[in-house]
Structure 1
Amino acid sequence: MSAFPLAIPDDPYLRDRLVDRIGQHWPRLLEALRPLYGEGDWERELASRLLSSALDRPADLRDLDLVREATPDWFQQSGMIGYCTYIDRFGGTLSGTNARLDELSRLGVTYFHPLPLLKPRTGDSDGGFAVADFRQVDPKLGTIEDLRRLATHLRARGISLCLDIVCNHTADSHEWAVAAKAGDKRFRDFYHVVEDAERVTAIEAHLGQVFPQTAPGNFTFVPEMGGHVWTTFYPFQWDLNYANPAVFIEMMDVLLYLANQGAEVFRLDSAPFLWKRHGTDCRGLPETHQVVRAWRAALAIAAPAVALKAEAIVGLGEVLPFLGDPDHPECHLAYNNTAMTALWAALATADTRPLATCLSQALAKPAAAGWLTYVRCHDDIIWGALKDVIPDETLGWISDFYAGEVSGSFADGQAFQAEPGAVRSTNGMAASLAGFRDGQDNAAALARLRLLYGVTFALDGIPTIYMGDERALTNDPDYASEPDHGDGRWLHRPQMDWTRPEGDIHRSIARFAFLRQNRDCLHAANPARPLNSPDRSLLIFERVGGVGDRLVCLGWFKEHGTVLDLSAVLGDGPWYDLLEETDITEHSVALLPWSVRWLVKKGG
């Protein structure tokens, strides 16, 4: 393995810290990239960008690097609580969001994920996921200085800032794309262009479709490019060509630049699609994992305080590889999408067995990695993620249930698009999908919402609140009246209503967060292990830490209450319910409709 190709400047910080980091991680970086690019001048350019970023790293972030190197499991701590929102929906602007940080602290939030806020293309930008400039903020939200200021204020409160990096594509108005359309060969090679229409058809035969109704196909003919540009998502989102080492270096430089503005976590949007190989479905290819592995090594050299999170909204079999292994680490975090999807499936069917199966499968996660757990997010619920644990016929019924198309359904959601023959996904805010309707008796809906969050907060990982769920915020029925909001997912991207009462669900979520603090068994290295349940409607799992450090979560997914003998599962008591602050007899455990219990040994 080649030595680092550049001399380290005679800077005390670089001399004391960077030399060690380079010695450890530069070989890993080359091990990942040389099979893709061979040896060449790109290595020297890569080294130059790393050194430049390390020199530019602000002093307070260098201090954070040292802290995180000493506590590499910082993102696995039991006190990590997430919050995800759109800046314009939450605080209006970055400055306005600064004024709302007390709201986050009251909920125990330590991880804040504002959805895409970098400068988007004009007009429809797929909710900000069509980025025109990775080094500027959307002018409607503020400036890069405002972003840096927000990151500083968050860090002072112990809150880590997570930013989206749309790593698969740029907007068609990005300077790289503009230069490519103008005939610049260097930037044309930043994208995939297929000149032969028959070749496009042959490639398409192996590919799925992300938006089969609103953006069918995976290619867009662009006259200025003299052919068809690969566009996995929308026609204005041009897929980057990672077979070109210059693309890897530029996107690495983007990560390092934003890390120096104060980002502590990067959500790698659309990560499975990074590498293209004709004749495959181009999802999660081995080369994709080498790219992600190299980004991790680069950050470990120049910004080791930063974590990577994989955005892979697919089944566990496709998600787990993005966490790598001890010898080849990739992302620090990944979404536990199947657990979220199975939660909603259990709520509709009163059958928790598929959820227990998903939790068992999730035990394959590397101990040093972490999940991000959640109830809802800005995207649709994709039922296909459960195709290996629930039959398609049942998944179709669940989809219909949440679209309100099944007799007796409590849900107020909408079906979303799917590929021909596939189960339609679901849109809707968590409260609406749980049956909450303003002006009605919502006791049952709130119980269902509390159950979902109570289970999610007991799972291993970073439990994350989606904007407004803490106030039972409902769907935006008028979403399509806003310009460029025709996509059905805007149903669950409403404006935050700060006049809406906080109520019981806010108190419950804040209590879940409080009870997680400093509880060792809830460290993410201690996984949620399903236990045998005497009833299909009862989910039981445990989190076990040191000697005597055990929490058992019970989730009852049924509209009628019951009393069960759980002595065979729990063992001898005495037991105590942390949520209800009551003693429990294991021979006679009462479960109210749609209820959750967190049990510990009394005195524990």
Structure 2
Amino acid sequence: MAELSAAENELLLLKSKLTQQLNFIYKDVELSISCEDLSDQLVELMRLDESCTAPIAYKNHWSQKDIIMITYGDSVMKADEKPLVTLQHFMDNYLADSVNSVHILPFFPYSSDDGFSVIDYSSVNESLGGWEEIQAIAKDRRLMSDLVINHCSSRSAWFDNFIKGEGIGSDFFYTASPDDDLSNVVRPRTSDLLRETETGKGTQHVWCTFSHDQVDFDFRNPEVLKSFVSIIRLYLDMGVKIFRFDAVAFLWKKLNSSSINLPETHEVVRLLRTLLEHAQHDAVIITETNIPNTQNLTYFGNANEAHAIYNFSLPPLLINTLVTGNCLYLKRWLMSMPPSQNGTFYFNFIASHDGIGLRPAEGLLNDYELTTLVETMQQFGGKVSWRTTETGAPKAYEINIALYDALQGTTKGKDKLGLQRFLCAHSIMFGLEGVPGVYIHSLLGTQNDYEKVANTQHNRSINRHRWDYEELQDNLDDETNHHSIVLNSLKDLLDIRIKQPAFHPNATQFTLHLGLQMFGFWRQSLDRKQSIFCISNITSHEMELAIHDLNLIMTDNWYELISGEVIDVQADMMMLAPYQTVWISNILCE
């Protein structure tokens, strides 16, 4: 008998692993196909039978040079030009090498929720452009795309077939009975969970975690899994390198359970990682799980699940720190966060297309702090989105506000230090362990869009402004303009960050103890050659930093990277202006 090649051996190992994972996922489901046969089909859909090589375990496919801009495909618009082309022009002309990756929010045909109610996963929204424009962007920057995996649009062909009772999709959706006990189900919306729908098979009640236009898939049907594996293969072919698994925590449903974070959900993520890594070794999965911090951390698995998780607790904690002038809660949280293992990283952000989620702050901020934060944001023009708790009571779920406006003052009211506070927030985020994600409207210092809220009647529209590109160019080309100042200031910080080995996403991090009005942490490069002390005055008044508290090695030269100044290690004190950040390093990387 001929000896198997290395690729053939790896393929057998892969199929065996997939079969084990499938057996776990479908252990309580009666299938019409064996898990061995289903494994074969998944391998074929991903085209892994053509050539199969194992990924290197625990390898970091990222560095301090990775910065991801978050944007809609039409955040910048120009007459008679495809928005994706305009977006690429904006990135080429104004971001250059400061930002090497881009997360284009759902760019598919959709019916609601600004793209997250997908009608067709296989095509690009014609109003934005086509796959040609997506591939052009992917050639220049690492492209991150959403995989809206929990639900699709009620106007999709799949749901049309569900209504007809025949064809592909007719059995893709999760249904339940109004008589079922659904009291334990956890969800982020106040609308009814079940949507009554007349179908060719009679009246059905479709599970809708988010809205009645977003109908939830039934992953107990392996045909749903196969469809998403085909979609992943298509996105890889189109140049996508980073996959954002949207709302994945709700993927597996089970009656008489919370239907969130179920073991089957975690195993589906692990299975998709197995397939994806074998197809393209440097592909990355980021799970979008806007849930309490301890639950969110479980999506790392044992460095075998998501490559990255959203650091959802960072936005509310950091904003709370800067509007109260007290870093107690942020400091406690940072000290409790486990370092990411090699092969994983934290995805840090403080603003996005969504609002400031409050569930990830539950258990970290007390009720008084949460209430004060909500009331402060409302004073600055913010809106509040609500959810229903297990007792049926309404509770603030999300604050909707542009980040620049969120930081225009403190709990005492507005002041003139908004820009300094805004830059302080970013200098803290840019220094933290992980990869930074920067929302386009943060880069541009965009403020609350009340007109869009009035037009859409949706709170989240407040932070989803659409820029006319020519107007934006006029603003950015004027060095005295607010938007130009913000963009250039953030780019200056990013340009420093990407040169520092100590800012590698997996470099060592320790929290410093400098009182409650100074927030600080220490980073050390993987080769242990560079140290950076990241320290911020998080108050509206000048503060003294005691140099001796840092225990700087006297025989080294020390530099403040942001200003370029040499640090006098013999000095007793260093004065920090309101909201000033210093990055003190023993190596000057220019």
Q: Report the TM-score, using the length of structure 1 for normalisation.
A: 0.85
Instruction: Tell me, yes or no, if the aligned pair for 2:153 and 2:215 is still in contact at 8 Å.
Output: yes
Question: What is the distance in 1 between the residues matched to 2:85 and 2:233?
Answer: 23
- After TM superposition, the structure 1 stretch with the greater mean CA deviation from structure 2, 129-138 or 571-580, is 571-580
1:588 paired residue number: 573
Q: Secondary structure at the match of 2:260?
A: coil
Question: What is the distance in 1 between the residues matched to 2:157 and 2:114?
Answer: 20
2:585 paired residue number: 600
Question: What is the distance in 2 between the residues matched to 1:361 and 1:488?
Answer: 33
2:69 paired residue number: 83
Given candidates 136, 139, 149, the residue that maps to 1:149 is 136
Question: What is the distance in 2 between the residues matched to 1:19 and 1:457?
Answer: 44
Given candidates 397, 404, 413, the residue that maps to 1:431 is 404
Cα offset, 1:413, TM superposition: 2.3
Instruction: Tell me, yes or no, if the aligned pair for 1:461 and 1:524 is still in contact at 8 Å.
Output: yes
Cα offset, 1:468, TM superposition: 2.5
2:157 is equivalent to residue 175 of structure 1 = yes
2:520 paired residue number: 540
Cα offset, 1:392, TM superposition: 0.9
Cα offset, 1:517, TM superposition: 2.6
RMSD between superposed Cα atoms in Å: 2.7
- After TM superposition, the structure 1 stretch with the greater mean CA deviation from structure 2, 358-367 or 47-56, is 47-56
2:20 is equivalent to residue 31 of structure 1 = yes
Report the CA distance shift for 1:330/1:551 in structure 2 as closer, same or farther (over 3 A). Answer: same
Instruction: Tell me, yes or no, if the aligned pair for 1:475 and 1:491 is still in contact at 8 Å.
Output: yes
2:201 is equivalent to residue 223 of structure 1 = no
Q: Secondary structure at the match of 2:23?
A: helix
Report the CA distance shift for 1:361/1:368 in structure 2 as closer, same or farther (over 3 A). Answer: farther
- After TM superposition, the structure 1 stretch with the greater mean CA deviation from structure 2, 510-519 or 467-476, is 510-519
Q: Secondary structure at the match of 1:309?
A: strand
Cα offset, 1:336, TM superposition: 0.8
What are the residue-to-residue correspondences of 1:98-247 with 2, within 5 Å? Answer: 98-103=88-93, 105-106=95-96, 108-121=98-111, 125-152=112-139, 154=140, 159-184=141-166, 187-194=169-176, 196-199=177-180, 202-203=181-182, 205-212=183-190, 216-224=191-199, 226-247=203-224
Q: Secondary structure at the match of 1:460?
A: coil
Once the two structures are superposed, residues 474-530 of structure 1 have per-residue CA deviations (whole angstroms, 9 ceiling, x without a partner) of: 111101354xx2210000000133432343322222122222234222111224321
1:523 paired residue number: 504
Report the CA distance shift for 1:286/1:595 in structure 2 as closer, same or farther (over 3 A). Answer: same
Q: Report the TM-score, using the length of structure 2 for normalisation.
A: 0.87
Instruction: Tell me, yes or no, if the aligned pair for 1:18 and 1:301 is still in contact at 8 Å.
Output: no
Cα offset, 1:288, TM superposition: 0.5
Q: Secondary structure at the match of 1:580?
A: coil
Instruction: Tell me, yes or no, if the aligned pair for 1:356 and 1:530 is still in contact at 8 Å.
Output: yes
2:559 paired residue number: 576
What are the residue-to-residue correspondences of 1:322-341 with 2, within 5 Å? Answer: 322-326=299-303, 329-341=304-316
What are the residue-to-residue correspondences of 1:460-539 with 2, within 5 Å? Answer: 460-482=433-455, 485-496=456-467, 497-501=472-476, 502-533=483-514, 535-539=515-519
1:556 paired residue number: 537
Q: Secondary structure at the match of 2:75?
A: helix
Given candidates 383, 386, 398, the residue that maps to 1:417 is 386
Question: What is the distance in 1 between the residues matched to 2:102 and 2:169?
Answer: 34
Cα offset, 1:20, TM superposition: 6.0
Question: What is the distance in 2 between the residues matched to 1:554 and 1:413?
Answer: 29
Q: Secondary structure at the match of 2:474?
A: coil
Instruction: Tell me, yes or no, if the aligned pair for 2:186 and 2:259 is still in contact at 8 Å.
Output: no
Q: Secondary structure at the match of 1:222?
A: strand
- In structure 2, the gaps of 5 or more residues are 477-482
Cα offset, 1:25, TM superposition: 3.5
What are the residue-to-residue correspondences of 1:255-334 with 2, within 5 Å? Answer: 255-326=232-303, 329-334=304-309
Report the CA distance shift for 1:21/1:126 in structure 2 as closer, same or farther (over 3 A). Answer: farther
2:47 paired residue number: 54
Once the two structures are superposed, residues 116-167 of structure 1 have per-residue CA deviations (whole angstroms, 9 ceiling, x without a partner) of: 111213xxx1111001111011121122333233323x2xxxx210001100
2:322 is equivalent to residue 347 of structure 1 = yes
Question: What is the distance in 2 between the residues matched to 1:468 and 1:107?
Answer: 19
Q: Secondary structure at the match of 2:578?
A: coil
Cα offset, 1:185, TM superposition: 7.9
Given candidates 355, 359, 373, the residue that maps to 1:384 is 359
Report the CA distance shift for 1:580/1:24 in structure 2 as closer, same or farther (over 3 A). Answer: farther
Report the CA distance shift for 1:69/1:508 in structure 2 as closer, same or farther (over 3 A). Answer: farther
Cα offset, 1:579, TM superposition: 0.3
Cα offset, 1:186, TM superposition: 6.7
Cα offset, 1:41, TM superposition: 4.1
Report the CA distance shift for 1:357/1:104 in structure 2 as closer, same or farther (over 3 A). Answer: farther
**Percent of aligned pairs with the same residue?**
20
Q: Secondary structure at the match of 1:266?
A: strand
Once the two structures are superposed, residues 378-407 of structure 1 have per-residue CA deviations (whole angstroms, 9 ceiling, x without a partner) of: 111122321212211211111101111xxx
- In structure 1, the gaps of 5 or more residues are 1-14, 405-410
Q: Secondary structure at the match of 2:585?
A: strand
Question: What is the distance in 1 between the residues matched to 2:587 and 2:99?
Answer: 28
2:425 is equivalent to residue 452 of structure 1 = yes
Question: What is the distance in 2 between the residues matched to 1:421 and 1:116?
Answer: 29
Once the two structures are superposed, residues 269-288 of structure 1 have per-residue CA deviations (whole angstroms, 9 ceiling, x without a partner) of: 00100011112211111110
Given candidates 327, 334, 344, the residue that maps to 1:359 is 334
1:402 paired residue number: 377
Cα offset, 1:266, TM superposition: 0.6
Q: Secondary structure at the match of 1:499?
A: helix
Question: What is the distance in 2 between the residues matched to 1:280 and 1:569?
Answer: 50
Instruction: Tell me, yes or no, if the aligned pair for 2:105 and 2:146 is still in contact at 8 Å.
Output: yes
Q: Which amino acid aligns with 1:302?
A: A
Alignment: residue pair count: 553
Please identify which structure carries the higher helix content.
Answer: 1
